[in-house]
């Protein structure tokens, strides 16, 4: 929650823990009630933000175009963006995982140069494995990461693709 950021940032001071928010608005200023502005995040000392989380896409109708606008805003202000991508269960079962991941990466990275992409983190979050008790196997996650890295290479070149950080963000528990 944005209201907790100052407390968390103060608690993490002097450690190697970075703090960010779960979402930012793409507009740098304006009347966007309830949204966290980039200026608010910077003012409290936040350094990271999630962009395009599945719940933002599902419940707030965020499109790849909106994700892209937010990505540009974060990069412009030196906030480290964690771009979330992933397929829903119906897409996985229909064999569409690869095409969905490519569409989401391409949409998110529109207008981003290889040089600008350096701080970006991509979080592969299979929507079907968030809060459902289902988990992707290590092989599923590795396959998705390979697809994502290949698409980044297509867009930005192999050097940028090799350097980009890709995380797994589905349901993770001690036993998996």
121 close to 81: Cβ distance less than 8 angstroms: yes
Give the residue carrying structure tokens 């070149």: 157
Instruction: State the catalytic residue, choosing from 25, 53, 87, 91.
Output: 53
Q: Let me know how long the chain is.
A: 176
Does the active-site annotation cover 72?
Answer: no
Tokens of 165: 């950080």
101 vs 48, 73, 98, CA distance in Å? 22, 22, 5
Give the residue carrying structure tokens 């350097």: 163
Give the residue carrying structure tokens 């175009």: 65
Q: How many CB atoms lie within 10 A of CB 167?
A: 13
Instruction: State the catalytic residue, choosing from 62, 87, 125, 151.
Output: 125
* CA gap 137, 125 in Å, rounded: 13
Does the active-site annotation cover 125?
Answer: yes
| Residue 58: burial class (beta carbons within 10 Å; 0-12, 13-18, 19+) | exposed
| Residues identified as active-site | 53, 125
């Amino acid at each position: 929650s944005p209201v907790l950021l100052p407390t968390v940032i103060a608690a993490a001071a002097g450690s190697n823990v970075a703090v960010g928010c779960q979402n930012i608005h793409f507009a740098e200023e304006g009347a966007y009630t309830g949204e966290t502005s980039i200026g608010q995040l910077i003012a409290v000392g936040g350094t990271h933000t999630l962009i395009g989380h599945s719940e933002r896409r599902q419940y707030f109708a965020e499109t790849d175009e909106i994700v892209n606008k937010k990505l540009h805003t974060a990069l412009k202000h030196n906030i480290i963006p964690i771009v979330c991508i992933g397929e829903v269960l119906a897409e996985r079962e229909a064999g569409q995982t690869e095409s969905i991941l490519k569409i989401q990466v391409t949409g998110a990275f529109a207008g981003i140069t290889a040089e600008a992409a350096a701080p970006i983190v991509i979080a592969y979050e299979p929507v079907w494995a968030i809060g459902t008790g289902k988990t992707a196997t290590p092989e599923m996650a590795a396959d998705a990461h390979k697809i994502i890295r290949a698409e980044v290479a297509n867009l930005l070149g192999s050097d940028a693709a090799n350097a980009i950080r890709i995380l797994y963000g589905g349901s993770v528990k001690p036993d998996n």
